[in-house]
Structure 1
């Protein structure tokens, strides 16, 4: 199984189709093993052989991605709320969940007033200590649970403004209510700000939060209002 995953990773990371010989070399496998793995992956639909004899990802990869999204058990109205928030503010809207000590992005609706953030895309894990999504969800946790989460995920420095000690984060969150909008200014990406808020009822598992991002470090008050309204809509 691990060798088949290595093959898929190499094909997915390449900017062009790969031959079996190239796959074998990059994966450190002998040629006969590579031919066997590639044939099996093609049969299962995870790779596609072109008439030229090289290989691309197959349709089953997309199917597994959609299965993953279904497993998130997003609220039924989630996509409608995300797209409406992005359309009415012009800013990219994000939905994320916190479960089993993992912050995972479950949906993104892009807006022209926000930069593209490659690390905040559907299906990716995000850093709870440096993102507004994570901060909003940590407000729903007791202080001891927040510290345990940070100990497990770590506090990587993304920019000079990133909090890297639990005490710094507690200074930000201390005294805030779990229904408040929480912001970060340049902590995840320089010259980018984000605002996030937990969805009502976020004490359940999984917990959900909505956020928006802005180009620059200012978040207009009317955007924060729209964000709160969207979270209220999603929470029912």
Structure 2
């Protein structure tokens, strides 16, 4: 499976965050933000934002003298065996739950694995209901924000292969069923702009998805809202895009 080469904004943030974590890890006794900036080459303003995010997520901790040390989350993710997998899943779930509460929408992490769309984890609630899977998600990639976001990250042959196994059936009056039209939409989708689903999968639901891709892994972070909250969709989608880095970081470490 070949991937399209464009990196995403969250990907860049994660690359910077990894550089920061590597620096903090090298200094067992703690390291100041000034020293981190010097060793990573990151601008102080950008570094301050990353350190706040890493502190909030528990990857680093600030000790009494203001220096930064490795945090509990990074220690847990550094474990091996089943403990590490459980730590990753728990950390990711906490991050998704926080996004659900801050954005006010159901949140999903999906990946494209062995030619199929898979929802890996999600966070919903009484006021943020998840999408009712009335038609198999694996066969609805052409209609869902999640599916379209994953397909944008595949090359032409990868998309052809997927649609040869999962036909573009009409799910609502808004579903795109013409493959040529669908491919044109996917090709014209900017890498940094959220992919939308405006009642294309299910009447009464709108969705948005942003890519969270590093290396050979194709994934996305998505949200769904009842159609009566459609006026919030674009703002919620851009908030999701800005907050995608912690999710990708959980999947990368």
Q: In structure 1, list runs of 5 or more residues that go unmatched.
A: 1-66
Q: d(CA) in 2 for partners of 1:198 and 1:130?
A: 16
Q: Which residue of 1 aligns with 2:151?
A: 138
- CA shift, 1:168, in A, is 2.3
3-state DSSP of counterpart to 2:143: coil
Q: Which residue of 2 aligns with 1:64?
A: none
3-state DSSP of counterpart to 1:148: helix
3-state DSSP of counterpart to 2:183: helix
Q: CA RMSD in A?
A: 3.0
Does the C-alpha gap of structure 1 residues 110 and 126 become closer, same or farther in structure 2, counting only changes over 3 Å?
Answer: farther
Q: TM-score, normalised by structure 1?
A: 0.60
**1:195-206 alignment runs, 5 A limit:** 195-201=208-214, 203-205=215-217
Q: Which residue of 2 aligns with 1:117?
A: 131
Q: Name which structure has the greater RCO, CA cutoff 8 Å, separation 6+.
A: 2
3-state DSSP of counterpart to 2:245: helix
3-state DSSP of counterpart to 2:243: helix
Q: In structure 2, list runs of 5 or more residues that go unmatched.
A: 1-81
Q: TM-score, normalised by structure 2?
A: 0.57
Bigger Rg over Cα: 1
Q: Which residue of 2 aligns with 1:99?
A: 113
Q: d(CA) in 1 for partners of 2:155 and 2:88?
A: 24
Does the C-alpha gap of structure 1 residues 116 and 176 become closer, same or farther in structure 2, counting only changes over 3 Å?
Answer: closer
- CA shift, 1:116, in A, is 4.0
Q: Could you list the runs of 4 or more consecutive aligned residues of structure 1 that deviate by over 3 angstroms after TM superposition? A: 73-77, 111-116, 123-126, 217-221
Q: d(CA) in 2 for partners of 1:167 and 1:76?
A: 41
- CA shift, 1:126, in A, is 5.6
User: Can you list the C-alpha shifts for 1:73-129, whole angstroms capped at 9, x where unaligned?
Assistant: 977742122111101011100111111111011111114554442318xx9746211
Q: Which residue of 2 aligns with 1:79?
A: 93
- Which has the larger helix fraction? 2
How many pairs are equivalent? 164
Corresponding residue to 1:173 among 186, 190, 206:
186
Q: d(CA) in 1 for partners of 2:165 and 2:175?
A: 17
